[in-house]
Every structure is written in C-alpha cells, then in structure tokens.
Structure 1
C-alpha cells in the first residue's frame, strides 16, 4: 500500500518513520515534508491546506491511505473533501475537529456532558473581557478561541499580564481571526498530562501517557511554545488517574460528539491537569500531539498502519494496542529567539555522529544543496529509548551535545520532574 502523510514537522516525521516499518507499506509520501522526512519518505511539494492538489495527488499516485498530521488541514475540511471523493483518509471531519479549532465549542460540549474542566467564560468584546479578569484576579488563563499553533495561551500570573494578553489577541490581532474571540479560564494547579487515544465513534483505545514541556525555558519559565520536549511514561501519575481520564473524559467526549452529530474518527488528544480533585481538561486537540508523538510512537509495538486502517474502516473495537516497556524522552532543539522572532538558514552539523539507536525527528529543516539547514522555530527532536526514564534522558542529552547550529536553544530539564518524583 502507498501512504500519504500530510504535514511538515516532527510529528509527521515520526508518523512517516512508523508507517515505513509496516510490512504492508510499499511507499510513504509526505506533503510537503522537510529535509529529514525526505530520508524515509518521498516529499511532494504540496501545501498541507491545498485540498484539491492533495486529493488529485492521492488519486493519481494510487494512495491507499492519507494520514493528516497538523490541525490546519483538519479545520479546513481536508477529511470531508477526501471522503466526498471516495479517498480513504485518517482524521476527523471539520465539524468534529472543532474540539480543537474552537475552544468555545469544546467547552460547551464539556459543560453539557459533565466532563471535568476549568471554569470559564467566552468573550468577543475586549472591554467585557478586561472587566472579567479584573473581577476574577490572577492567576488566570487567557486563550485565543481558534488555532494559534500552540502559542495562543497565556497563563497570566498578574492581572496586568492578563490584560496585555487580551489586548495582544483581541486588539492587536497577534493570532489573526483566531484571537478575535477568547476563552478565559481559572488557572488549574497540578501535574500536566498528555493522553491521546485512537477513536472511532464511541470506541476509544488510549495510548500510553506522555508529558509535554510547553514553556520555552528551564523550570517552565517564559512564553508557551508548540512544545520543547516530552517523555513517556509519566511515572509520577498512577494508572488509576489514567483510567479515570479515559472513563470520565475521553469516552464521554467521544460519545458527546456522536450525540452532537459529528462522530470523531482519528486521534483525540486530551491535555490534562491532574488536580487534587482528579484529572481536568486543559484542552482537546483533534490530532497527534507534537512532540508527544515523538515519544509515544517509538513505544508502539502494534503496526501503526493496521490501527489507522481499523479507525478508517470502523473496526477499531477489534484492535488491541501493544506497547514497549522502555521509556522514551525527546528534547526539542529550537532556533534562537523562538517562539518569537528567529532566523533560519543556519547550517546543521553533527547528525552523522548520532548513536544508531537514537532517533532524530526533523521539525524545521530543509536541504540547501548538500547541506541541511534550519527552516523553522522548532528544528529537531532528539528521541532516545531506555530501560528507565533516567537512561532515556541520559542518552538523549548525550546526543543533543553532538548537534550544532547557530543560535541553537533547548531546555536542559526535560524529564526532571518525573525523576525528582521517583527519588
């Protein structure tokens, strides 16, 4: 079978890598891909939101399954576009993808279904939003309602910080139309957890949990990013919490979307805060997380293609997932200045010195003649497996030390929270 992965980041590299290992996959394509993805897939220069061109390529190339990586093509209706043309595709419809593309939509569903989440209010008027944060005080969370590439959330520790975030989103248009409406939430305290699941209607098959690191600097300081690293498993959070999240959050959300008339098929991602009252939803995403996918897929023993096909064909209930016991840890290498202004085109050195059992997933790279150069904010994800999380961390950072590009920035504390808890 020929498979097409849509997207160009580290998540898509991990997807291409995993799919290429399936004995049923003859060839993997990626649109548009990047400099590293080109090592495991054939990259085709089609934008991920060019629905017509993607569908035409899938038809002309005889693609047996298309897998959507990022959120933008889902929100644009790529799955709907393919389905109406009889082209097999993995991912939710535009209506179901609103769990991510509209935080207000997701909050409404959660409230109606009794899914535990932070208290909130929705505003499309700046003055009303400012009055609300002054009334509630800080800490408080300000979120752009629409898609903002993981950067539309501000955890404001002061009222002034919350006011600045509101003006940036609603007045200055920092996130375009995505920020014209905002969701303001209470600030939940606890341990963060990323829990993804394959979903086919009301059938839910959870993956192993992971923990992402959103702030750009060590100690969870600085602005939020798309993610600076991740690890799996999350040993400081017990299986009872995971079971509660599946039963009280993932399964009820899947059932609610069926009742809403937009059954979810694909990967439902729950970003959770494990509070003193149990797990509560911070956000839902409608696709594989990034960088969580870079630590979850390397632990998957089951053939990924078989799972994706089961979802698309409505037989996920027949599938049981098998996982490796090893821990996985990923360190993201970013361009200097990310998530704000940064330069690209920096030559990358040292990839030829990486250990053979360590994975390097490319997020923002391109070929410039014989050289590999940076082309984005998040550049590489260095993922290592180990018998323990400590071993995976040691291997990952040992290999990070061999890579160089001008301005390279990374967090030095990925996984430390879990290791401190273990000690």
Structure 2
C-alpha cells in the first residue's frame, strides 16, 4: 500500500521511517517532507503546503494513496481530515471538532472538567484587566497560556505577578497571533511532566510507551520553552500503577466525553501530565497528534507494525487487536538546534556527518532540513535534527545518542548535554 504523511518535521521522518519497515508499505509520500525524507529509499517528497487540502487530495486520488497520516496539529485544526474523508480517502487523525482539544485550551479545559479528568484549577479571559485582577488575587507562581495553537511556545510560567501581567499583555497584543484571542490562567503545578500518547478508534483507546520531553532550551531545564530539546522512553516515573489510573481517569473519560458530544475521534490523543512529588497527577493539556520529539523515541521501540495499528484505528477495530508489542530496552533522542533558537536563527547552513552518525543503534531523524540545489542537506528550521539512540537501558541509549551527535556538524549547532538527566541521576543513587 501507498501512504501519504503530512508534515515536515522529525516526527514525520520517524513516521515514514517506521512505516517503510513494513513489507506491506510500497511507498511513502511526505508533504512537504524534509531533507531526510527526500533521501530515504522508498520515500518521496511532494512540495505542497500542509494546508493545501485540494492539492493533497488530488495527488492522493490520482496516485493510489491508500492512507493519509497527518502529523502536525495545524492542518488537523483546519479540518484536513474532514476534507479528505469527504473525497473518499482514509485518514488517520481526528476531525476538526476533535482537534479542538489542542486548538483551544479553553475548550479542552471545559471538556476535562465535564469528564471529571484531574486537571489544574483555571479561568478563561477575553480581556487583560480581568485576567490581571485574577492573577493578583491568586498570586504567583502562576501559568499564563495563549488559548490557541502557538507551536508549543504559548505557555508562560510566571514566577511573579508582574511577569504574569506582562505575559497577559503580550498574548492580547498578538505575540502569538490568533492564538491570543483568549487567555487561560492556571494554577502552577509542581513535579515532572510526562507525555502519554494513546491511539484510539473512538471506542477503544490504548496508550503507547510513556515518554519524557525536555522543553527548556537550557541545561538543567532552564531558559525559554521550546518545541522540545530531547526525550526518552519509557519514562520510569509513569509506573504501571500510574498508567492504569491514567487509562481509567484520563484516556477513557476523554474518549467517552468526546463521543457524548457526537465527536468521532480517531487518531492520537496525547495527554501531557504533571506528576507531583507524591506520585499523584493532573493533566496539563491534550494534543491531537503524535508528539515531537516523543515520537522519535517511541517508534524505535515499537514492535507491532505501525500501519496495522493505524488502520485498526481508522477502521474502528482497535479493540480486536492483540496488545501492542514493544522491544525491550530504552530510547533517547537529542535535538540539534540552530544557533539562536527558539529566537531568530539562520537557515541554509550545510550539515555534515549524518551518515557517519547512523549505526545499528543510532538513527538520525531530520526535522528542519532540506536538500539544496547542490544536493546538500542544509538547515531549514529551528530544531534541525533528532539523534536517537537505543540500548538495553537508559545509560546505553543516551550514550549512543551523544556518540552519534559528535559526528554531526553545522554552523551554530546547539544541543543540550543533559538529556535524560533525571533517569541517569536515579541510576546513580
């Protein structure tokens, strides 16, 4: 079968890479793809925008595409699934109504409250003065969120009331575009974040391995928030006992409530959790797609063929599938970013060493890259590469990733040198 993957990041490279491991997959087409997908056997790039629904539909229908897998949240929020389904195409990814769970933090918060899902206390505002009054009454630290999609950067953890007021002003003044029409102000939760990505056909929901991302740009989890600077899986803090509770109290309640609203949600439901020091948890947010860079550590450990799981979701027979099978061991990925990210950064820097970095235990997933006219891989985004290592334990997996990144070079390259510090510290105790 032929599969079309929508997106151009490390997540989409990982999806294409995993799909092509199956004998059932004849070809993967990435729209628009990146330098890594352009260079991968069995894969081709199609230079269309992710929201060019008519162009994607035309290509898929004319070229015998059996399945469309949507990576990023923006086309899902704009209704790509609804559009392509109306053309008779099979799509993995929720419809527009379901994608609201990520596209509007206010809508998602209301759904969590209706479903009885444990989450932080919050209030929603449409003008700055009321939001600032609420912050002053609540005190700091406190969390200020732009309501809509902001590429993972619309969340500000304010340590003081003044910082919160500045964040409110920035959001309402358009720093995050249309994402700032509403502001969500939320209590600040303390603990460790864990990403639980689950597959669902709208009736049954099954979690993948829990992963832990590293959001901050600086070592020691300092500095600005990013789209994610590295990740590892399976996250030990998400114990089997905790995952059983997440299944019942979060995933199943969310799907049941979506269904009660008439939303047929098929795709990935991704719960971002905060696990407190006493081992309890609350949901910080929901996303409507595979996480990035979590996907780059989850898929290398997946034993069950990915397309079988995706088709079971699309065809609403996930409940008939055997348990998801996993390879033993651990995976870790380190993001090589452009200098200046998450602020301004240069593009077009020549990248060397990706082939030398690739071994049986190291895979280089391209994110912000492209092939230039000289057939060179060059930088084309803030997060440029994901170097993923696998091993029998976290120490091995993390070491493999860092050995791999030593072979890679481009001007201004930056990466955190402490990815996995929590699991490594725990192993040393």
- Short-chain TM bin: over 0.9
State the 1:202 CA deviation. Answer: 2.5
Query: In 2, distance between residues paired with 1:194 and 1:393?
Result: 19
Aligned position for 1:16? 16
**Structure 2: segments with no counterpart, 5+ residues:** none
1:175 corresponding residue in structure 2: 176
Which of 86, 89, 107 aligns to 1:87? It is 89
Q: Show the 5 A alignment for 1:49-64.
A: 49-64=51-66
| In 2, Cα distance between equivalents of 1:354 and 1:243 | 38
Structure-2 residue corresponding to 1:400: 405
How far apart are residue 277 of structure 1 and its match?
Answer: 6.3
CA contact (8 A) 1:336 1:408 kept: yes
**1:160 matched to 2:165:** no
Matched-pair contact (CA < 8 Å) for 1:30–1:42: yes
Pairing 1:411–2:429 present: no
Alignment RMSD, CA only?
1.0
What is the alpha-carbon distance in structure 2 between the residues aligned to residue 293 and residue 147 of structure 1? 19
Aligned counterpart for 2:327 among listed residues 319, 324, 327: 324
**How big is the shift at 1:187?**
0.6
**3-state SS of 2:35 partner:** coil
CA distance in 2, matches of 1:177, 1:406: 34
Gaps of 5+ in 1: none
CA distance in 2, matches of 1:240, 1:30: 38
Runs of 4 or more above 3 Å deviation: none
Q: Normalising by structure 1, what TM-score?
A: 0.98
List per-residue Cα deviations over 1:202-251 (Å, max 9, x = no partner). Answer: 30111010000111111111111110000001123321111111111111
Q: Does 1:206 align with 2:207?
A: yes
For the residues of structure 2 that align with 1:25 and 1:97, how far apart are their CA atoms?
27
Q: Corresponding residue for 2:232?
A: 231
1:338 is aligned to 341
The answer for the alignment partner of 2:386 in structure 1 is 381
Q: Check the 8 A contact 2:358/2:364 in 1, yes or no.
A: no
Equivalent residue number for residue 246 of structure 1: 247
Task: Assess if the C-alpha contact under 8 Å between 2:198 and 2:208 holds in 1.
Answer: yes
Q: Distance in 1 between matches of 2:261 and 2:159?
A: 36
Match of 1:322, SS state, is: coil
Is 1:194 the counterpart of 2:195? The answer is yes
Matched residues in 1 for 2:12 and 2:290: separation? 9
Structure 1 CA distance, aligned partners of 2:253 and 2:238?
21
Report which stretch shifted further, 210-219 or 160-169: 160-169
Give the number of equivalent residue pairs.
422
Query: 2:39 maps to which residue?
Result: 39
Tell me which residue corresponds to 1:274: 275
